[in-house]
Amino acid sequence: MAIAPPDNGIPSDPAQPRNGFDRFFEVSARGSTMSREVRGGLATFFTMAYIVVLNPLILGGAADGDGKKLSIPALAAATALVAGLMTILMGVVGRFPMALAAGLGVNALVAFEIAPQMTWADAMGLVVIEGVLIAILVLTGLRTAVFRSVPTQLKTAIGVGIGLFLTIIGLVDAGFVRRVPDAANSTVPVGLGINGKIVSWPMLVFVVGLLVTLVLVVRRVRGAILIGILASTMLAIIVEAVAKVGPSFVDGKPNPEGWSLNVPKLPERLVDIPDLSLLGNFNVLGSWSRAGWLIPLMFVFTLLITDFFDTMGTMVAIGQEGDMLDGQGTPPRAKEILLVDSIAAAAGGAASVSSNTSYIESASGVAEGARTGVANLVTGALFLLAMFLSPLSTVVPFEAASTALVVVGFLMMTAVRTIDWTDYEIAIPAFLTITLMPFTYSISNGIGAGIISYVVLKLARGKAREVHPLLYAVAVLFVLYFLRGPIESALM
């Protein structure tokens, strides 16, 4: 009987697959091994597992136009389910080590801009429409054309702006930044904590948790964000047990020094049957009858812009990390990768957890040696197991989870260095994109301002031919978006 050689991390013959499984996933062909793929899958999961906690807190903390909120345990279970299934689908169809889950930034757009103007089912219906449109763009080849129409540095600015938007959301949710009580008569609209001071236990937990997370990030600890959330939550549980802080609202009255969203107490049980009641809770046509045609159209467009640009950039970045790009800078099976990503976007809406998209944290798995979809099988299976731990999502207060938003905001901000600030034709649109997102609390406002100003500046410099024709159409749509108030008044 032949004895298989030990798996020392170096395949004996990269060109020859060892079996059908190896041949299908091209493990040996890409110079990888099963042990590398497993390690990579584990690393990817632990660097992005925080989304199972964070996505429910973002979506669950917002109310729709009818004042209704989504169940946090149900959001946690559905977030894990869709992430698991879509990550596995990417592994099998795309055969690329890129995991997917509910997209940060997109979920903020859904929670804080779209849902308040309609019902949750209507908002998720728009996400489904967006996913279908992206799939059509992939199948027709138009996705690449639209992608190329927006300047690379403006795409970078969109990501940076979303990072700052997430940061301000995290700081506000944690109570670290608050509206000044008499803001109308003050030169400062917001301030630090309560009356400019950190005077509550929850705020102290946030500060300590943020510092711990930043130290872990600086020390390159894998899973730093998730560890930071868990450490902050454990500290919050101890503080609540000793100090009895209570919730931010008691008997309908505000308690400024209380915990936001959740009071950190251990649930009666840690494992439970997943609550999948949110699956299928979407309405494709509801928003169009409630909000008119222009607002849903612009929201769908904004979702599409913020979603697929991030995916294409992530795909290339991961391919570069693993030396998997061809001479044109394209990863293997690019069309299949983009198709799965579009399916994930629609699946996220159908499950009421917002659009699912690719995660740059997958690069941590590639750094561990992952080169194929086998790593996705490991990551996806772990997400499916996480469904049964959804009761833990009711333990985490905003003060603990918001540390992740701030850190992710920083990580997204680092891309600002690639923008040429000496070229005003791109620097000014980038600046407007980045600043208007957090300052107007709107992702779509930032994207619109950036694209419109870019087109206007190019026209003013006599460089109309440098602007892609598709971008003119996009700019016109955003002009209509910003003028929707006067337009609606004129039409009504």
* E strand or H helix at 101: strand 100-102
Q: 484: which 2 tokens?
A: 């929707």
Q: What is the pLDDT of residue 169?
A: 84
Which of 109, 176, 222 has its CA nearest to residue 403? 176
For position 324, what pLDDT does the model report? Answer: 86
- 341-376 pLDDT, tens digit per residue, is 999 999 999 999 999 999 878 887 887 788 999 999
Query: Which one has a higher pLDDT value, 104 or 89?
Result: 89
pLDDT at 3 over 60: no
Residue 205: pLDDT band (50, 70, 90) is very high
**The length of the chain, given as a count of residues:** 492
User: Which pLDDT score is estimated for 183?
Assistant: 56
| Closest CA relative to residue 33, chosen from 48, 20, 18 | 18
Please report which confidence band the pLDDT of residue 147 belongs to, taking 50, 70 and 90 as the band edges: low
Q: From CA 303, how far away is CA 296, in angstroms rounded?
A: 10
Quote the pLDDT of residue 8. 42
Residue 465: pLDDT band by 50, 70, 90 thresholds?
very high
Element (H or E) spanning 310, and its range? helix 294-321
SS3 state at 23? helix
pLDDT tens for 430-444 read: 999 999 988 988 777
Question: Which SS3 state, helix, strand or coil, does residue 276 take?
Answer: coil
- Cα–chain center distance at 135: 19
As a whole number, the mean pLDDT across the chain is 85
pLDDT at site 53? 83
pLDDT at residue 6 above 50?
Answer: no
Q: Cα–Cα distance between 458 and 450 in angstroms, integer?
A: 12
